[in-house]
Amino acid sequence: MFMSTPRRINIHIGFHKTATTHFQDTLEMSTDEFRARNIIYYPRDQYRKSLRALTHNPKFNKLPLSIFKQLYISSRLFSPITKSKTLLISEENILGDCVELLSTIPYSMNRLEFIRIMSRKVDTTVYFSIRDFSTLLPGAYATSLKYSPRKALTAKASLIDDISCKRYPSWIDVYERIKNFLPNVKIKIWNQEAYRHNPEIVFREFTNITDFKPHKIPDPLSTITPSLKAIKIVEENVRKGNYIKSDNWFLEVEKIFEEHQAKDLETKFRLFDSETTQIFKKKYQQELSYFEAQNCLVSI
């Protein structure tokens, strides 16, 4: 039994490195407008801990009955909500941390139980944003080196081995797993290119505001993929175990990335050779066609 529920929930579950930070920062600038329209948007930094308690916390999964899980969700998400309101959530960690993208089976752990429970009582739409894996995974690896350095090195090695054996990650696989686990939920997808070229359409779809005009803000510099030289320096430090001795490993990596920024495409860090990159690009176009046929791709 939920203590209170919104009228509708639109929840964007990422993924990492798909302009999600930019999307969230833009939404946060419109909080007052949303409030005037009976819409509540939960700012990323304010509610990240509450959402993590629902996705990464064994305590939630071990609750014996659905009613206890409903109360747990209510206490963390629904306390300021009334039935007349729409709730907007955008959090790229819902399916997993960034390092979990570095796999031919991305986000293999299921953390969507709280969405399944909410969707039984509330009209729920799940959104996720995708891009070509050949451009996504280098940035995901760079970010993972900041947060999970040893795991990142191991995941990268396994990923490269799998791809050399012609095993590739698939957005269709991710979509099917989400759809099968969340039978009561509508699923909508947008690709990064659409967001970059026509963001208004994406924001209007997500907010259900047909005349919404998002604020124009610059891209967050901290999410830009660094140079190959920067990555090699950080990897060597990880192998030496320097991250264990560091007082603030995250800031150390940020500084290295800043000091060794990619000056052009030639110096930018890449994970794959040109042949593999072309395979990914072809698969990506095939996946976009599949999602369009499923009528779940946001039309631009």
Three-class SS state of 75:
helix
Number of residues that this document lists for the chain: 300
- pLDDT for the residue 64: 58
Q: Which CATH architecture is the domain 8-132+169-219 placed in?
A: 3-Layer(aba) Sandwich (3.40)
What DSSP element (H or E) covers 159? helix 149-164
247 CB-near residues (< 8 Å, 6+ apart): none
Q: Give 66's contacts (C-beta < 8 A, 6+ positions apart).
A: 117
How confident is the model at residue 218, as a pLDDT?
85
Per-residue pLDDT at 2:
47
List strands edge to edge, sheet with 186-191: 39-41, 86-90, 8-12, 123-130, 186-191
Task: Kindly state the DSSP code that residue 210 receives in the 8-state scheme.
Answer: T
Q: What is the pLDDT of residue 125?
A: 97
Total-model pTM: 0.86
Rounded to whole angstroms, how far apart are CA atoms 47 and 22? 17
Any residues with CB less than 8 A from the CB of 48 and at least 6 apart, and which?
91, 93
What distance in Å separates the CA atoms of residue 275 and residue 196, rounded to the nearest whole number? Answer: 26
Predicted pLDDT at 1? 45
pLDDT, residue 48, reads 66
| Average pLDDT, consecutive stretches of 10 residues, N- to C-terminus, the chain (300 residues) | 71 85 93 91 74 61 58 58 76 87 89 84 93 94 96 98 97 95 95 91 95 87 80 97 94 94 85 97 97 90
* Domain boundaries, given as residue ranges, for the chain: 8-132+169-219
Please report the pLDDT score of residue 117 as a whole number. 83
pLDDT at 108: 82
Question: H or E element: which one contains 164?
Answer: helix 149-164
* Site of tokens 């795991």: 151
